[in-house]
Chains A and B, each alone.
Chain A
């Protein structure tokens, strides 16, 4: 596939997922200008690798590249936030962790929720964003984040738990001040 042919089929298959790509990059980099750079770079990479794409799930394929490009970008620009490796076996979500104050979430407004999500470690943030905002299935998330299906499930559970904790602490702080 060469030139105009390739360009046309690429634009048809991949360009419609621009919003999804930008959403993921924006949440991972937490910055508009960086997200735009990442997405543009990811599209170029996707175009170069388009020969290896065989018309499966174009969105998951693209988002996988956006995710990897974001990680590369973060490594080059602020490596500190990637330095906390996650151990998925630790911190199992246990029933007694589910405290009633998590119910405060029901009163959440978007601004507070956004802030809480941005505070999450990037590994939690990505599965949560892919699930809640890009509305992907566990299977698609596994493809995008290159994780086993079981890890997707446990990470998502822990991400939500962590989010509730952050959210609860914010709300309490607000109440106290």
Chain B
């Protein structure tokens, strides 16, 4: 080991920061080199001079007490501040993203089921429920349109057109009240051989007439249209052609 390297390592050696192998090399060098040996003695002397405890300051009386009370004040004011806890940041960010996604979903029509689709689903559920029990089928059972129509009086804020189509093969069975599309609506029940047809009627939101729109859901045919200020939804397990025929009858009767 050269003197230059040894001189660089003597401090680390004195401070016990060298590994054993390095320490031995330095020791060995010092046995041969007086300059380095004397430098080592100097550093050791200096280190032991520092061992004098009077050089080491201790905290004066009262400092700890002052610190403790200032910490207590700080702890209290921290509780008062309820400082922002950044650990919640990711959760906050996620909530914000979800909110934005919802806003976009609401704003872009293509991304959410249209109100017609939701309504069609409601129709199917209602239609199925009405057929599960005979007592559910109609609140007023009559094939007489002059019995069924007055029955709705005072139960609805509108007067649904009621017609019997017995002669055309679609006898009126009765009527009942339903709650659909967030409002009370009239439901009329017709029969075609063994098939039942529910015809739901409520005042249209728009004043213009729209043509028939047909969909199929869970094996049921649905047709809806608007005319004379009323919206009509017809649903049945009847085939599409006959349901369409029924729809024409209803529309022509207006």
Contacts and interface: CB of A to CB of B under 8 A. Distances in A.
Is B a genuine binding partner of A? yes
Interface of A: 2-4, 6-7, 10-11, 15, 18-19, 21-23, 26-27, 32, 35-36, 39-40, 43-44, 47-48, 93-96, 98, 100, 102-103, 105-106, 108, 110, 113-114, 117, 131-133, 137-138, 153, 156-157, 160, 163-164
Contact of A47 (B17, B52, B58, B75): B75
29 contacts: A2-B78, A6-B75, A7-B71, A7-B72, A10-B71, A11-B71, A18-B59, A19-B57, A22-B57, A39-B67, A43-B70, A43-B71, A44-B74, A47-B75, A93-B7, A94-B4, A95-B7, A95-B39, A103-B42, A103-B45, A110-B55, A113-B52, A114-B55, A117-B55, A133-B55, A137-B15, A138-B12, A138-B15, A157-B8
A98 B42 contact: yes
Given A18-B67, A108-B49, A160 B79 contact: no
Chain B's interface size range is 35 or more
B3 A95 contact: yes
A47 B42 contact: no
B98 to A, nearest CB: 28
Which 3 residue pairs are nearest across A and B when measured between Cβ atoms?
A132-B50, A22-B59, A110-B52
A26 B75 contact: no
Contact of B17 (A36, A108, A138, A163): A138
B60 A22 contact: yes
Contact of A156 (B3, B7, B11, B39): B11
Interface string B16-53: 01000000000000000001101101110111011010
Contacts of B63: 18, 22, 36, 39-40
B252 interface: no
B52 A160 contact: no
Nearest to B17: A138
B45 A160 contact: no
A95 B58 contact: no
